[in-house]
Amino acid sequence: LSNYINALGYGSDDESKFLEFWQNNDLKIHIIGKGINRFHSVYWLAMLLSAGISLPKILFVHGYITVDGQKMSKSLSNVINPYDLVEKYGCDAVRYFLLREIPALGDGDFTFEKLEKRYNSDLAGGIGNLLSRTLTMINKKNIIFNRNIIYSLKNISQMLKPFLPYTAEKMEEQIKTLKPEPLFPRI
């Protein structure tokens, strides 16, 4: 447990990171999985108190991500490598799926079928289709359009930015050039 603060330099000659990110930080959020809740909510806090170290302000305990209804396990060989998902689907699509399908406080189930369904329906069919159709119509009809349309698309991209930053960036580039390209090619 002490690795959390040791990694920041606690007890070393240079405690600057420990002081910045832990001791002098007013908003310490400790994010833990439900399987280790007791160790982090009781033992770790007792260790910090006994050492005179400030406590986290918030303990956020999240559930498990299961795969086809089973807890991920190396022995079952059902662990999903997030880097493989990002390579195949892109980081925004993976982030979107996790935010959309995995509850913050409960267990959530991952399947490739669910990921591809969300990708194709919400991202390719929803957001991607909206932008593509709008820009295609503007180009095809040589429309002198109401600036509110572009303003609305920019607003959508700004709302997406915290969750889907690369998608928002691609949207903004397409809005500038008025050249539609698939944001999320269908799988």
- Model pLDDT, residue 167: 87
Q: For the residues 138-147, what does the mean pLDDT come to?
A: 67
Say how far apart CA 167 and CA 99 lie, in whole Å. 15
Q: Give Cα separations from 120 to 21, 87, 109, 117, 127 (angstroms).
A: 40, 17, 18, 5, 10
Please give the full DSSP string across 95-138, using - where no structure is assigned: HHHHHHHS-SSS-EEE-HHHHHHHIIIIIIIIIIHHHHHHHHHH
Q: List CB contacts of 156: < 8 A, sequence separation 6 or more.
A: 127, 130, 171
Burial class of residue 4 in the structure, from the number of CB atoms within 10 Å of its CB (0-12 exposed, 13-18 middle, 19+ buried): middle
Task: Name the pTM for this structure.
Answer: 0.68
CA 131 from chain center: how many Å? 22
CA-derived radius of gyration, the chain: 22
Mean pLDDT over the full length of the chain: 88
- Model pLDDT, residue 67: 95
In this model, does residue 6 exceed pLDDT 90?
yes
